Each structure stands twice: as structure tokens, then as C-alpha cells.
Structure 1
Amino acid sequence: MSATETSPSLRSWLLLAAAFTTFSIGAAFMHAYTVFLVTFIEVFGWTRAQVSIAYAVAQAVNGISSPFVGWLVDRLGTRRLILIGGTVLTLGLLISAHVNALWQIVIVYGVVMTMGSNCLGLVVFVPLLSRLFVRNRGMAVSIVQSANGFARAFSAPVTTMMISGLGWRGAYLWQGIFMGVVLLPLAALFRGAGQGTVRRSAEVDGWTLRQAVRTPHFWLLFLVYLFTGLGSFLVALHQLAFAVDIGFSQLYAAGVLGMGAFLSLPGVIVTGTISDYIGRELSAIVTYGTSILGVVFGLMIHSPDQHLLLWLHACFFGLTWGARGPAITAKTADLFPGPNLGTILGVITIGTGLGAALGSWSAGFVFDVTGSYRVAFWLSILFYVAGSIAFWGLRRPPAKRA
């Protein structure tokens, strides 16, 4: 066993911190759409289903493009992907300040910004981190995965204040300027790390995509990603709109939901770390149950004086937002290690994109039809249960076929 496997170096820990920072920034700009969604309804008069289209397209593009991003990072390395993704995301934010029609938002946010953000996301960092942190893979993945919840926590209140002070076009403009300023420093942190052309001798006999897809484990993982995306995004995109509809003020609700989302930072790290000790499956099932409890608290809210229930909903749902990610991603690395992990993970991640796309749009459609998000919340619980069942089926490792 190498020194890297037994004791990660200081450089490894610095790269983990850099991955967390980069992922946080990219994810924050994407999660900010939950606030822009409310603004677009007021400014343009669009229905919930209409404003959900851009977000649904973004989730679909995120999933569909993940195999390509994984293939690129296996060959170009982390630093080049950050340069490409940061540049594209910066352009998308600047262009967003000038959109005037729904189709423009769908293209700019749903395609351009999503492609940029995906090059700053988990698929880019997991292959590097899984090599640097072998014995503590769950812990390392959980730390970088927690960046997603951390970004979600501060993006809503910060974006709300930016729109209030600068207008929604000004908010997009300054977000684009910020992304452009931090791009090069972020990429510089990964100089010489995770080059795609480097192959460790120990990984030569790793899994190929063709071998992986011939196992039931690959398709169970795909279903886990699909069901988790459905369960999460039937609630997440419309949480703020749900609270505002009940009668809570937008700024107050954004603050409560933001504080709840902030809990995902310790929640993801703790659940990912304990998955190294109690097993990925049990860790994931605990998080599914916690998320379900958060959705149930949301279903119990009927009036704006039920502040405790809003806090309980935000905290329990936020605590495990993304908490399944480390267990699922680390499980993928456990089952299919090797130099093609980025590609394999990218293909499986299509399930997340499809689930998130269908879930976020379906919640808006359900509201337009029923005038409430309650059916969407019940569907969220159903898919969380299905995800836990699929994950439990991954207890035994797959057999590699020739």
C-alpha cells in the first residue's frame, strides 16, 4: 500500500479544499435560479411549469453531458476542465443579464450555464480525490459534495438581496463579473494535479465502461441516482415559492431555507465519513429517512404562523440535501475503480439529471393543475423510498466479466 493510501499529503488536503471552493462557487450560481424563478413569475407573468422548464432542461443537460465531462477529465485533467467550465459559466451569467424571453433563459441557463457548471462539479473532482484518499474515500467525497449544500445555503439569501438592491439583471451581471475574476486563481490551484494522461500502474486493470454496464450494480446505481433526483427536486426547486404561497415573506423564507440548507455542510460530511465505517448502504438509508421526515414537516404547514414547522422542514430536508451523494459516489468508486472512473461515474450520473429534470418540472406542473405542491411532496416521499430499496441491493460487489 502506498504512502498516499495510508496518509494523504498536505498537497492532497489543499486540493480537497480547492475542490470544495470551486464546486461551491459554480453550484451557487446554479442554485440561485430558485430566487430568479420567483422574480420571473412576477416580472413576466409565467406559470410555475413554464419557469420550471429552464431548470428541468438544466438538470437534463447536466446528466446527459456528464459522460462527456467525465471522459474529458480522464484525458485533459482537472485544471483544464475548470478553465473551460469557468469561462463558459462566466459568459452565461453575463448573457443572462440581457434575456427577455423564456426560450432565451432555457438556452442560456439550461444549456450554457449548466455546461459550464458541470465542468466545476463532482464528476471532475471525484476521480482525483478517489486516488488521493483511498482509505477515507467517503470522507473526502463527502467534504467536496457538501459544497453543493453550502452553495445552496448562501445563494438564496445573497441573491435575494442582490435582486432587491441591483435588480435581477444587475444581479446576473455582477455574478458574471465575480466568476470571471476568480476563474484563473481557482484553476491555478490545480496546476499539475490530476492530469488525464497520467495512469497509475495499480489502476491499469480497473473497470471499463463496457464491463460496468454488464453488471446489475451499474443499473441499480443508475436507479438510485434517478430516484434520488426525483425525490429531491420535486421539493427543492419550489421550496421558496411554496413558502411564499402559504404567506411567509420571501426574504424571511429565503433566510430560513438558507439556514436549513447550510446544515447540509455538516450533514453531508458526517454521513459521508461514517459510510467509511458503517457501510455506504446504511448511511444512505439513514439520510433517506431524514429527508422524508423533512418533507412530512412541509406537508404539515398550512398557514404563515407555523414558523416552527417551516424551520423543521428546512432543517431536516436541508440536513440531508446532497448527503446521499458521498455514499453513492464513493460506492461507485468502490465498485468500479480504475482510470475510467470519471467516464463510468458520468454515465451513471445521467440518472440524476433525468430525475432532477423530471422532478423539478413535475412539481411546477402539479401546482398548475392542483393549485398546490402537496401532491409533489407525496411523490417525493415515494421516490425516496424507492431509492433506499435500490441502494440496499448494492450490498455485494459485482463480478467482472471478460
Structure 2
Amino acid sequence: MPPASQEDLSQDNLLAGRRAWLILGSAFLAFTVGASVMHSYTVFLLAFVADFGWTRAESSLAYSVGQLVGGASSPFVGSMVDRLGVRRMVLLGGALLVLGLVGSAQAGALWQVVFLYGVVMTFGANCVGLLVFVPLISRLFATRRGMAISVLQSANGFGRAASAPASQVLIEGLGWRGAYLVAAAVAAAVLLPLSFLFDRRGGVARAAAAPAAAAVRSWTLGEAVRTPQFWLLFLVYMFTSIGSFLVSLHQIAFAVDVGFDPLYAAGVLGMGSFLAMPGVIATGTLSDYIGREWSALLAYGISIIGVFCAMAITGPGDHMLLWLHACFFGLTWGARGPAITAKTADLFPGPRLGTILGVITIGSGLGAAIGSWAAGFVFDVTGSYRVAFIGSVIAYVAGSVAFYALRRPPRPRAQ
């Protein structure tokens, strides 16, 4: 067989590049649906309080359990995607999300909401989230990993931004049960057909991956856990989630408590959350040029300013402070994610990246569970979210210190 011409190679590279962007766009859409479903709980929380008379801590329980389950199931999901491929994971995730949403529309007790949201829907969302797509995307865009992962992760902020006002409108028009049924129909219409755009075994990634990736050393989970960088990443995920979820789950409840109209508050916070898309993409892309650490530190600083703006709000007249909080906090919602995830791929590349990332992500689930439940508990005890917001700032500072310590690459230790 004659060797391929330069023109043929260029054509193959062009097709592979287009296919890579198609896969990235499909992953973005699937992740957006899962993120929208999960983040909409911030709006449903107030509906549960009004309908069932639950306390804030009780209403936050399903969300906290969801974060724990999300973290605890991450190693399993990471291992599954390494073995089953992306298509089957998206099919499974879509089916579980639809099942959980339809079941939630019929829920009449706290344990049912906890099980359906905290277990069924959380596991489903994990199957259409970062753990499934990052190994594929990191191979497709080996030389632009920070940019590609940031585009993917911006779906989290986009889903969060769209879910708040959309859910509020649906709840006011159809009730919270009807809103869940609409969400189930949308998830089924998007996720199930979308899964067939992915190759069953991720072969598209192998075909389009950069040749240089083959020369990179492959890490196993056993080697990774014996490095300090693995545990520093674990702490980064945990502290970052604590800082974020001490605020995010109760943002709308906080705004309503100080006197803002619920729909107005959902709109402002939702508009602020839309800034997460450019914020995540900018910081992720920036991390390819100035380094993952400095990009993450910048995002931590902006988030802290956003929390301070919330702490300064005293009443419904503080519209500017609410907008500043929404913009600064929304701009950096998930903005550290691409830097953290790309750093994980930088430090521990190889076919076991999904498994390694899954184990490290336990820290994220643990931190999110602590933060979301603790904020509700603090409010029930003190009648205010101020202590929770102070805790958010402290957690962000701790996360930035741990991330900065990741400057040196790991060296595998002998078993």
C-alpha cells in the first residue's frame, strides 16, 4: 500500500478535528441537562418548605445526601466509563434522571425525595458529567486540554443559570410536581438520542488523540494514591466544594429572607450564573498559558469578593450588592474546575484517568455535602447565613493554599 500523501494526512487531521469538536459539543449538551436537573433543587427547596413545612436543614438533606452519593459513587463511575465507554454511560444516566424526575413528581415524604434526588438522580447525573467526558476530551485535545475542559465544564454553570429562572417559572405555573414532569420530558428528549453520537468504546478519542499523548507515562490508581499530589488534589476538591456550597444552595433562600421577590431573586442569580460560562472558559484557557495554579488563585479571589458582597446585603434595597454578588460569585462558579481537572490530567495521565479522577472526586462530593447541609443547619440555629458565608471564605482560602502546593509534579513510589 502506498504511503499516505501530505494532502491525505491534512484531510484526515481536519476531519478528526471536526469530529473532536462535535464530541465536545455533544458532551457539553449532555452535561448541561444533568447540571440543570441537579441545580434546580435550589428553587424546589423553598417549594418543599412551603408545601411540607420542613426546616431548612431537612429540606437540604436530599441535596447533601446527593453530594455524598455523588462523591462516593465517583470511583465506580470512573471505573465504569473506563470499561463500558461513553455511549452506555450516557444512556444509563439519561434513564436514571428521567426515572428520578418522574418519581419525584409523585413524592410525598422526605425519605422519598432524599432517595430519588440524592441517590437515583445523583448517580444518573454522574453518568453524564465530568467523570465520563473528561478522559475522552483530554485525549481529543491533548495540547489544548485546559481550554477544552473549560468549555465542557462551563456546561455546569450554564445549566445552573438556566435552571433557576426556568424552574421558578414552571413551579409558579404548574406547581413543583408539574415542573418535575416537564424536566423529565426534556431530559428524555435530549439525552437518550444524544448518546448515539458517542462511540461505544471511545474509539473516536483514540483515532483523534494527539500522537504525543502516546509518549506520556501512564499512571495507575495505586501509584497515584502514594503521591502527596493526589491527596492535595483531594483537599482542593473538598475545600472548593465546601466554599461553594455553603453559599450556592441557599442563595435564593437568602435573597428572599432579606426581602427580595422570589422570581426577581431567581432572575438576578440566574443571570449572574450565566457569567459562569465565559468565566470558566476564560480561566480554563488562561491556565494553558499562565499555569493551572495562578488561574485557580484568580478564581478563588473573585469568588471571595462575591461572598463579601452577599455579607454586605442588609435589605431589599441593596439591589447593587445582590447584582455584584450574583456576578462575582456566578463568574467563578466552577471556574476552578477546569484548572483542577486539567491539573489532574496533567499529573496522572493514562487510560486509568477516569478511575483516578473518580476517587479524587470523592473530596468534591464530601465537601458539597458538608457545605450544603451546614448552611441550612447554621440558618436553623442562628436565623442567618452570615456564619456560613464566613465559612465559605475560609474554605476558599484553604483550597487556594492546597492548590498552590501542587506546583511540583509527582514521582511514583515503589510499592
- Which range, TM-score by smaller chain? over 0.9
Aligned partner letter, 2:91: L
Report the Cα distance in structure 2 between the residues aligned to 1:366 and 1:324, rounded to whole angstroms. 26
For the 8 Å contact 1:204–1:339, the answer to whether it is kept is no
- Structure 1's 369 and 4: CA in aligned 2 closer, same or farther, altered over 3 A? farther
For the 8 Å contact 1:35–1:159, the answer to whether it is kept is yes
Q: Structure 1 stretch 5-14 or stretch 300-309: which is displaced more?
A: 5-14
Question: Which of 152, 163, 175 is the equivalent residue of 1:167?
Answer: 175
TM-score between both structures, scaled by the size of structure 1? 0.96
For the 8 Å contact 1:56–1:360, the answer to whether it is kept is yes
Aligned partner letter, 2:364: T
- Partner SS, residue 9 of structure 1: helix
Aligned partner letter, 1:260: G
The percentage of aligned residue pairs carrying the same residue is 66
Partner residue, 2:119 = 111
Q: What is the CA-CA distance between 1:194 and the residue it aligns to? A: 1.3
Report the Cα distance in structure 2 between the residues aligned to 1:127 and 1:201, rounded to whole angstroms. 12
Report the Cα distance in structure 2 between the residues aligned to 1:252 and 1:13, rounded to whole angstroms. 36
Report the Cα distance in structure 2 between the residues aligned to 1:180 and 1:374, rounded to whole angstroms. 40
Question: Which of 56, 59, 65 is the equivalent residue of 2:67?
Answer: 59
Aligned partner letter, 1:314: A
Structure 2 unaligned residues grouped into runs of 5+: 1-9
Taking the TM superposition and a 5 Å limit, the aligned residue runs for 1:66-145 are 66-145=74-153
For the 8 Å contact 2:30–2:190, the answer to whether it is kept is no
Partner residue, 1:147 = 155
Aligned partner letter, 2:376: G
Q: What is the CA-CA distance between 1:197 and the residue it aligns to? A: 12
**1:190 matches 2:198:** yes
- Partner SS, residue 143 of structure 2: coil
For the 8 Å contact 1:24–1:150, the answer to whether it is kept is yes
Q: What is the CA-CA distance between 1:182 and the residue it aligns to? A: 2.0
**1:49 matches 2:57:** yes
Report the Cα distance in structure 2 between the residues aligned to 1:396 and 1:5, rounded to whole angstroms. 34
- Structure 1's 197 and 388: CA in aligned 2 closer, same or farther, altered over 3 A? closer
Partner residue, 2:327 = 315
Partner residue, 2:349 = 337
For the 8 Å contact 1:230–1:359, the answer to whether it is kept is yes
String of CA shifts for 1:186-243, please: whole Å, max 9, x gaps. Answer: 1011135615997999279500000000000000000000000100000000000000
Q: Structure 1 stretch 189-198 or stretch 334-343: which is displaced more?
A: 189-198
How many residue pairs get aligned? The number is 401
For the 8 Å contact 1:84–1:119, the answer to whether it is kept is yes
Partner residue, 1:327 = 339
Report the Cα distance in structure 2 between the residues aligned to 1:198 and 1:317, rounded to whole angstroms. 37
**1:292 matches 2:316:** no
Report the Cα distance in structure 1 between the residues aligned to 2:358 and 2:235, rounded to whole angstroms. 14
Report the Cα distance in structure 2 between the residues aligned to 1:184 and 1:253, rounded to whole angstroms. 33
Report the Cα distance in structure 2 between the residues aligned to 1:72 and 1:152, rounded to whole angstroms. 26
Give the superposed CA RMSD: 2.0
Q: Structure 1 stretch 138-147 or stretch 3-12: which is displaced more?
A: 3-12
Question: Which of 387, 391, 395 is the equivalent residue of 1:375?
Answer: 387
- Structure 1's 219 and 7: CA in aligned 2 closer, same or farther, altered over 3 A? farther
Partner residue, 1:40 = 48
For the 8 Å contact 1:4–1:133, the answer to whether it is kept is no
Report the Cα distance in structure 1 between the residues aligned to 2:377 and 2:366, rounded to whole angstroms. 16
Partner residue, 1:228 = 240
String of CA shifts for 1:131-180, please: whole Å, max 9, x gaps. Answer: 00011000000000000000000100000000111111111112112212
Report the Cα distance in structure 2 between the residues aligned to 1:179 and 1:353, rounded to whole angstroms. 23
Q: What is the CA-CA distance between 1:388 and the residue it aligns to? A: 0.2
String of CA shifts for 1:258-277, please: whole Å, max 9, x gaps. Answer: 00000000000000001000
Partner residue, 1:252 = 264
- Structure 1's 113 and 192: CA in aligned 2 closer, same or farther, altered over 3 A? closer
For the 8 Å contact 1:5–1:133, the answer to whether it is kept is no
Q: Structure 1 stretch 6-15 or stretch 49-58: which is displaced more?
A: 6-15
Aligned partner letter, 2:168: T
Report the Cα distance in structure 2 between the residues aligned to 1:387 and 1:397, rounded to whole angstroms. 18
Taking the TM superposition and a 5 Å limit, the aligned residue runs for 1:379-394 are 379-394=391-406
Structure 1 unaligned residues grouped into runs of 5+: none
String of CA shifts for 1:63-90, please: whole Å, max 9, x gaps. Answer: 1101100000011111110001100111
For the 8 Å contact 1:76–1:197, the answer to whether it is kept is no
